[in-house]
Structure 1
Amino acid sequence: MADNSNLLAEQRRALILDEVRRRGGVRVNELTRRLNVSDMTIRRDLDALARAGAVEKVHGGAVVVEEARTHEPGFEAKSALELSAKEEIALAAARLVTPGSAIALSGGTTTFALAQHLTEIEQLTVVTNSVRVADVFERAQRQSGVPHATVVLTGGVRTPSDSLVGPVADRAIRSLHFDLLFLGTHGLSPEAGLSTPNLAEAETNRNFVASARRVIAVADHTKWGIVGLSTFAELAEVDTWVTDAALPAEAAEAAREHVRELILAG
């Protein structure tokens, strides 16, 4: 792809589409470097291509249409995206937790970031289906020698996101009740709600939602408008969405029509 900031929008989008078809997918940060344009310009280009049905937007970029709804990147690939936004979201979400609470954290890189800010809050009971999240609390306990939290890790089958899903996880979650649920998601939209490419993960997340008194979605602004294969919660089921301040104003307005509370972190 040529590195030329003077390309017309049509030419630039043609180059982007060619790259998506050739490689199966592209990242926003790669395109900004290669085409020497802003992040917002690339996102507008991807929006235009998505409206035309030429690509499907996913977290951090776009993929060919037939792969998008069922494509689930691994934990390592997702953890490198939107790092500052995830940290801001994690800090804001951690302020919602009080000592002695029973909380649940679903799988995901944003809940993983959140877990690292919860290790010093005392007397928490933490239920999670994320191997990575459980590891955060285990490492903190080994380092301090003080068990600040009781951690319950559900059983189940491991996904590419290092989440445990399936009937074993579902039964464990259905038997419990949480004050707060912090829920990661592949995408959010008014039409599809919260969704994921993984059918088993969707069912496990549904059980999380059903067992929680308060549902808190933690997802950065790039997740807005993304639709995965399976919906696991409507936006109206979300009590609070904690996202970053880069969420466009029109998206924030649309979200407020559905979720009870919107927190823009950072």
Structure 2
Amino acid sequence: MLAVARHQAILDALQRERVVRVSDLAQQLGVSLMTVRRDIEVLEEGGRLERIHGGAKIPGDTSTHEPGFDLKSTQLTAEKRAIAVEAASLVQEGMAVGLSAGTTTWALAKELVSGPQITVVTNSVRIADLFHHAASAGSARYASTVILIGGERTPSDALVGPIATGALKQLHLDVLFLGVHGMDADAGFTTPNLLEAETDRAFVAAARKTVVLADHTKWGLLGISSIASLDEADEVISDSGLGAEAQRILQEQVGRLRLAAV
């Protein structure tokens, strides 16, 4: 493949996923890791992307950038569904289950609407609507109880702020499934929204068990605010595209790492 074609393929992948890994690109393009690194260097010199550890991201995609729900819900759908299926296996009848806002937790909600009867606590308008419409249509085996906490709405359709945080402080959850913007060895689990970070921290405090749901592209992404350190997660469920170094770090720091096969 000519260099110009490789460069365009890298940029196309970046537009789809916002963050790409050198190893993934090398496999997709059928070239060496060194070739991809050189291509990334050339594209960075031209201002087309920004290098990060092990890959590249869209230039100017800052730690406060918050993509909307509709865009994110069309990205990495196979990975998110695989993660959701794995996560759904942890849910048992009668549980109080927290679902933070996000497209991966939304994918999990789609698996749970016809699952065991549970009580769902969420700050996601989309997730609450999903359970409501499933119950109304009769597609759920029997309806779970859904508690939608209030608050200020974000671009990712999360309800956040002091009202949301105050409500969570009164609740006790068997398990929390937490969606995150990024994962990093030093910063832990992060989000680009300060108020959402505060609300997510209240979710973590309310739960006996915290399970983070994050596809492989979340590794190396940094939001402006940390939700929790890596060792505060009882489990992380990612997908089989997660790099070896990320796996090593997570296996050392979290209670358990699960990799869903895509």
Question: What does the per-residue CA deviation read over 1:159-216, in whole Å, with 9 as the maximum and x for residues that have no partner?
Answer: 1001100111110111101000000000001111000111110110010011110000
Q: Is the 8 A contact 2:193 2:224 kept in 1?
A: yes
C-alpha distance in structure 2 between counterparts of 1:118 and 1:174, whole Å: 25
- Alpha-carbon spacing, 1:176–1:28, altered in 2? closer, same or farther (3 Å): closer
2:28 aligns with: 38
Aligned position for 1:98? 92
Q: CA deviation at 1:68?
A: 1.4
**Matches of 1:176 and 1:48, distance apart in 2:** 47
State how far apart, in whole Å, the 2-side matches of 1:224 and 1:106 are.
Answer: 19
- Counterparts of 1:93-242 in structure 2 under 5 Å? 93-144=87-138, 147-242=142-237
Is 1:56–1:68's contact at 8 Å kept on the other side of the alignment? no
Whether 1:252 aligns to 2:254 is no
RMSD of aligned residue pairs (Cα, Å)? 3.5
- What CA distance in whole angstroms lies between the structure 2 residues aligned with 1:128 and 1:47? 43
| Alpha-carbon contact 1:28-1:39 (below 8 Å) kept | no
SS in 2 for 1:178: coil
- The 2-side partners of 1:36 and 1:256 are apart by 25
- The answer for the alignment partner of 1:77 in structure 2 is 71
The whole-number CA distance in structure 2 between the counterparts of 1:135 and 1:154 is 13
Aligned match of 1:7: 3
8 Å contact from structure 1 (residues 28, 42) kept in 2: no
Within the alignment, does 1:261 sit opposite 2:256 as a pair?
Answer: yes
Q: CA deviation at 1:233?
A: 0.6
> SS where residue 122 of structure 1 aligns?
coil
Q: TM-score scaled by structure 2?
A: 0.83
Unaligned runs of 5+ in 2: none
Measure how far apart 1:123 and its partner are: 2.7
* CA apart distance, 1:80: 1.0
245-254 or 194-203: bigger deviation: 245-254
The question of whether the paired residues in 2 share the 8 Å contact of 1:121 and 1:148 is answered with: no
- Return the letter of the residue paired with 1:38: Q
Task: Name the CA distance, whole Å, in 2 between partners of 1:179 and 1:164.
Answer: 21
The alignment-based identity, stated in percent, is 44
Cα distance 1:180–1:78, how it changes in 2: closer, same or farther (>3 A)? same
- Would the aligned equivalents of 1:46 and 1:62 in 2 still touch at CA under 8 Å? no
Segments of structure 1 that go 5 or more residues without pairing to the other structure are none
- Deviations along 1:55-78, one digit per CA (max 9) or x if unpaired, are 276xx972324x411110000111
Q: 1:203 to 1:26 in 2, by over 3 A?
A: same
CA offsets, 1:88-112, max 9 Å, x none?
0000000000000001000000000
Whether contact under 8 Å (1:91, 1:114) holds in the other structure is yes
After TM superposition, give the deviation of residue 40 of structure 1 in Å: 8.8
Question: For 2:64 and 2:30, how far apart are their aligned partners in 1?
Answer: 26
**Are residues 26 and 236 of structure 1, via their aligned partners in 2, closer, same or farther at CA, if it must alter by over 3 Å?**
same
Matched position secondary structure for 2:67: coil
Distance 1:164 1:37, change over 3 A: same
Corresponding residue pairs, total: 248
